[in-house]
Structure 1
Amino acid sequence: MRDRYDPQVLVYRKGKTQETVDCLAGFDLVVAVMAVGIVVRMICPALADKWTGTTVVAVDSSLRSAVPVVGGHHGGNDLALHLFEKLGAYPAITTATDAAGRPSLEGAAAVLGARIVNRSSSKDVNLAFLREEVPVVRLTGPKVVLVDEGVAILKSKGGVIVGIGARRGVEATEVVEAVRLAMASVGRGIDEIRAIATGEIKRDEAGICEAAEMLGRPVIYLDGKVLNAQSPMTASRASSLGLVGVAEPAALALSERLIMPKRAYGRVTVALGE
């Protein structure tokens, strides 16, 4: 997030409704340095739906608070956090899932590098995220799948999924080096990684989480049912834990195919999927 924004100036002149609508349409993200009430009156004529509207964050003139007014799940919350990092402005995030520290459909799609096909499912899925863990299941075709309105369908945009398995107490530097070596072995760069995937049993492994932060990529934790639904190419010692594996199944669960079966790099096991 830290180098993502290229600031430009949008000047608001009271009473120029169409001018405001036209100006907002030319931006993806807008920081409005004014009271939230003024911002609401300013943008009302430009509001359509949350999927197509411009994301607007209001910041008070003293730069004490950053309030995502519209588009919280579409860049507004991240922008508010960015302003907190750079200016110290308190990020007044009010979207339910974020306020509760829970995942969201939009966030999951971003992590997976995917687009949401049936946007109408977002309400039901985000409500479910507030109550429980919502499983991520990957289906490969050809198939005909019948779903109800509460099932979100995501279409992958591509990228490498790095499946990780590791011994207890592994260091972040070990994980990062293993990932770099694995990616180099298939002629791919770190910038091509979409996400790090591992088993839910590794959620408390600080080395994996810290390595993902160092690489600038999210970690997706998959439960045992998802891992065991895969067909890994090689046997795993994770069978003693009731799992068919960790690194390969994790990579397979979020990709179409393995581009590198699991390899051991010291205390870290890596598999790559695409």
Structure 2
Amino acid sequence: MTISPAIIILSQAALPMARRIAVATGGDVHGLARRITESVDATFTNTGQHLGDLFQDGRPIVALMASGALIRLLAPHLGDKHNEPPVIAVAEDGSAVVPLLGGHHGANDLAREIARVVDGFAAITTAGDLKFGIALDVPPEGWVLANPEAAKQMMADLVAGKTARLEGEADWLANSGLPLSAEGETTLVASANAVNAPADGLLYHPKNLVLGIGCERGADGDEALALALESLGQAGLSPASVGLVASIDVKADETAVHHVASHFGCPVRFFDAATLEAETPRLKNPSDIVFAEVGCHGVSEGAALAAVGAAGELIAEKRKSKRATCAIAQAREAFTAANLPGRARGKLMVVGIGPGSEGWRSPEVSRMVSASTDLVGYSLYLDLLGPLAKGKTRHDFDLGKEEARVRHAMELAGEGKSVALVCSGDAGIYAMATLVFELLDKADGPEGLTPEARRIEIAVSPGISALQAAAARAGAPLGHDFCTISLSDLLTPWEDIKRRVTAAGEGDFVIAFYNPVSKKRRTQLAWARDKLLEHRPASTPVILATNLGREGELIRVVPLGSLNVDDVDMLTVVVVGSSNSSTVTTGDGKTWVYTPRGYARKEGSAMISMVSGDAA
């Protein structure tokens, strides 16, 4: 998947040019907050930190700023040139477009594209790219250079006038501007075989081999990997040319299959039994036993053949270990992200976006959302993603449709998609992560999930909870023991809620009340207030935090005895201090709430002091 660039501007004057570039490249405009008066896709306050974060995340950077300044800001992050994203400096008037980093990772091509849009000049300085339109040290997707240490000398020789001889098939080399000759003085080899690199040239491996893997349920991953390596060795094939691992769809959650793919750093694709059965005429070892078990006459050979298609061929028939099988097929073309066959194992990423603002969203969550194909969530939460939602398929749900929302997300993942299930706050605190696992737990019931949805990969990423956000805005009320209680009785009986509030009051916990009120439910918070007044002073500070991290944010601190239910709405989190919680006012007039880490009691508290475990 191509990552869209971040267009960086430091002044309002650069905004029109940045927008032209963003439209042409599918990028987002990021502006320095204190100098931008109009709305942009994202803002930042520290230019160096923001550029560094983008660079570390592998995000292409197009900066409308001086190239020297851009170089100095990114200098601390420079390392392996083979893993750096494109970095391009553009003059504010568009007259010069300079690819500074990642020339072989798309920066040169991106610079040319931008130059065409802004009527500027792309200052390409890479020697090989200039002369031959190709970079020998960084082959295109789907190819691997076996001896990269020899690329610099090879390119220097060709630039100096030597010719090259191409052995094997590689259209990207044959159709380039390289000086190729049947009598070439240097050698370019393209082969999937396990051969040595030529002493006078370069060896490229096309990633066009498929490992078809079959295994018993729960088979050991190392066993399957050892079989795969042995199969490659017996066939004289290079492990570097493995571009895909394939199997039957009922093995989508099989650890051994993914262990093999992880070793080779390649994707995994799955096929249903009917697709594999269609390959029966091409199988070398059809099995009636396998057919009786899974509905096709061969898993490893069938999956390998299905992956390479009619133009490919089986080049190493099925080999067996105790609990696994492996076969190898070769495709006509190298595998890339654009031509992968079959279906991926779907992935469900349950993410907490915090209160919603970009500054309170973790980098991991942002990466997960960026990597997704589909977004599922309450409409407001999806809107809060801003430019991160660009290019994604949205599946909007109303409030109150939580189970339908989660089920839909899991079924989408079951189709092989990468789905982000978006929650506010933290995904595991009064949010959707719990429902995901509940549905899995009852997956075999009459209302259960499809078999495909039960085999998905799941990842949960935390976010800043409303409790944490309220505490941070108000000071440090969570300095000692605390708990959270939802006052909504839609899913929890009111008697259970009352019991928990009573226990928390007796235990002298700081308490964060979620769902304190609703349009129809106004009495629970008042009851909780009165119950807590039996155990802590009326002066106990209470934090009312509304619209945290969003427009209209309001933080109020009131005494427990004066807590008015009418001051609380559905977007408010209520944090009630313990008998130890205190307030302090700073010179600017702001009142802060904190809870000391010790156990000293306030005067007037009805709590019994406990010293070394004994009642005083």
Question: TM-score, structure 1 length as denominator?
Answer: 0.49
Structure with larger Rg: 2
